[in-house]
Structure 1
Amino acid sequence: MRRFTWFNATSLTLGFAFLYLPMIILVIYSFNASKLVTVWAGFSTRWYAEIFRDQAFLDAAWVTLKVAVVSSTVATVLGTMAALVLVRAGRFLGRTLFSGMIYAPLVMPEVITGLSLLLLFIGIGLDRGIFTIILAHTTFSMCFVSVVVSSRLVSFDRSLEEAALDLGCSPAEAFRLVTLPIILPAVISGWLLAFTLSLDDLVIASFTAGPSATTLPIKIFSSIRLGVSPEINALSSLLIGIVTVGVVAASLASKNAAIRQQREEQAALRRTG
C-alpha cells in the first residue's frame, strides 16, 4: 500500500490551489466596496445589487438560461437515442460514418464549428437569434451526452430487459420501466454537462447569435474590453454558486438513486430467497 507522502500532499495542494485559488480570489473581491478591482476598500454587497438593476445583464442572463435549458434537453434526448443506436444496433451500413459524425464535435475546434454553422444559417436564410444559438449548442453538446450514456449502456445487463419482455412488456415499456430508471443517473449527468457547456460557451454563440439575442458570456466578454468591473466579479461569483449547487444536487441525487437501487435489489433477493 502506498503511503501518503509529503510530496503527494504538496502536489495535491498546489494542484487544487492552481485550480480553485483564482475563483476564491474572485469571490472575495466581489464583496469589495471599491470600484477599483484590485484595491480592497471594505466589505460590501453593493455590486450584487447593481447586477439586479442592470437590465442588459438580466436580459443576457435570461437568454442564456433559456438557451441552456432547451438545448441541453434536446441534446439529452438526441444523445441518448444516438447512444442506444451505437451500443444496441450492432453492425449496420454506415455505422462508421454515423459514429464519426456523432463524435466529430468532440475534437472539432469551436471556431470551425461556429463558422460552419454560421455559413449554414446564412445559406438557408435563417435569421440569427435564440433559435440558432439553441441549434448550435444542441449540435456540439449532443456528442458529450452520447459519450456519457454510452458508457453506462455498455455495462447494462440486457437480461433485465429480456425478463421484462418475457413478462409481457413491449419494447417501449421495457425501456421506460426498466432501462431508463437504471441509466437515469447517466442521462442526468449528460444533461448537466450539456447545460454547463451551454452556459459557458462563448465562441460558438458569438458566431450564431444575432443582435436580438446576446448571451451572458458574450455580454461579459464585451464588458471586460473596457476593464474588469466589480459587477463582473459579482456576476461570476453568482455563476460559480449556481454551478456548485447544481453539481452538489446532482451528486446527491445520483447517490440516493444508487442507494435506492441497491435496496430494491436486496429486497428482491430476499423475496426470491
Structure 2
Amino acid sequence: MALAVYAFLYVPLIIVVVYSFNDSQLNAEWVGFTLDWYRKLFHNDEMLRAAGNSLIIALVASAAATTLGTMAGFAMHRYKLKLLPLLVLTPIAIPEILVGVSLLIFFVMLNITLGLVSIALAHIAFCIGFVAIVVRSRLSGMDESLTEAARDCGATPWQAFRLVTLPLIMPGVVAGALMAFTLSIDDFVITFFTAGANASTLPLQIYSMIKIAVTPEVNAVSTLLMGLTLVLIIIASKLAPNAIRSS
C-alpha cells in the first residue's frame, strides 16, 4: 500500500523529468534523447523573463513573510491572544481563489497598479501564516528557562530574544523561509488574480504554454523548478540540520 502511494506521488514527477529529454514535439511516445529543449528554454526570452520575475518575487516575499511571520509566531506563543491566531492563520485556511479575488478588489480600491508589486504583496500576506505556524511550533518546544536565565543575568528583552531565543528557533525560521519561498515561486491562483496584464511569472507562463500543448519544453522548465526546490532543501538542511525534522 505504501509503495502504491509513493508511486502515485513520484512516478508522474519521474515521467516529467524523463520526457524533458525526449526528442519529439509531443509527449505521446519516447523517440530519443536530446538536450535541445533545454537549449531552447534558455533562449526563450519570455520564459527567462517570467522565471526572473518569479525569483525576485519569491525572494522578496519570503524575506518579508519570514520577518513578519516570525514576529507573529512569537507573539502568538508569548501573549496567548485569542484574536491574533485568527488574524494570522485565516489567509491560509480560506480557499486561495477567495484570497486572490479579495486581494484584487483591495488593490483596485487602493488604486494600486497590478503588477510585480501587487503579486509580491499578495504572496507576503499569504505566506505569513505558514511561517508563523512553523515558528510557533518551534517555540513550543523551546526551554523557556533559558530566556529567563538570560533576563536574570541582566539581558534586556531584545538581547534575550536576539542572543538566546532567535538562535534556538533558527531551524524553524529557516524552514519557514524555505516554505514561503516554495509557496511563492509556484503559486498560480493568487498570482493569476493579482498579476495584471503586463506581469508574468513562471506558473503563468507555463499555463499559457500548456493551453496549446504540453511540449517537452514545459517538462524542461518543470524539471529545473523541481531541481531548484531540491537544492533549497539541501541548503536548508546544511544550514539548519534539524529544520525539517524539528518543525
TM-score range, shorter chain: over 0.9
Q: What residue number does 2:106 align with?
A: 120
Q: Which amino acid aligns with 2:143?
A: D
Q: Could you report, residue by residue, the CA deviation over 1:52-75 in whole angstroms, capped at 9, with x for unpaired residues?
A: 100000000000000001001111
Change (3 A) 1:30 1:257: closer
**1:28 CA displacement:** 0.4
Change (3 A) 1:99 1:51: same
Q: What residue number does 2:14 align with?
A: 24
**1:159 CA displacement:** 1.2
CA distance in 2, matches of 1:66, 1:254: 24
SS at match of 1:255: coil
**1:168 CA displacement:** 2.3
Larger Rg: 1
CA distance in 1, matches of 2:132, 2:143: 19
Q: Which amino acid aligns with 1:82?
A: A
Residue among 127, 137, 149 paired with 1:163: 149
CA distance in 1, matches of 2:28, 2:173: 42
Q: What residue number does 2:40 align with?
A: 50
**1:139 CA displacement:** 0.7
Q: Is 2:194 the partner of 1:208?
A: yes
Q: Which amino acid aligns with 2:210?
A: I
Change (3 A) 1:163 1:71: same
Q: Which amino acid aligns with 1:56?
A: E
Q: What residue number does 1:263 align with?
A: none
Q: Which amino acid aligns with 2:211?
A: R
**1:256 CA displacement:** 7.2
Q: How many residues align?
A: 244
CA distance in 2, matches of 1:174, 1:54: 51
Q: Is 2:163 the partner of 1:173?
A: no
Answer yes or no: is the 8 Å Cα contact 2:236–2:243 preserved in 1. no
Q: Is 2:75 the partner of 1:59?
A: no
Answer yes or no: is the 8 Å Cα contact 2:130–2:179 preserved in 1. yes
CA distance in 2, matches of 1:99, 1:28: 44
Q: Which structure 1 residue ranges, 5 or more long, are not aligned?
A: 1-10, 259-273
**1:257 CA displacement:** 8.4
Change (3 A) 1:186 1:35: same
Residue among 58, 78, 84 paired with 1:88: 78
CA distance in 1, matches of 2:82, 2:2: 41
Q: Which structure 2 residue ranges, 5 or more long, are not aligned?
A: none
Q: TM-score if structure 2 supplies the norm length?
A: 0.95
Q: TM-score if structure 1 supplies the norm length?
A: 0.86
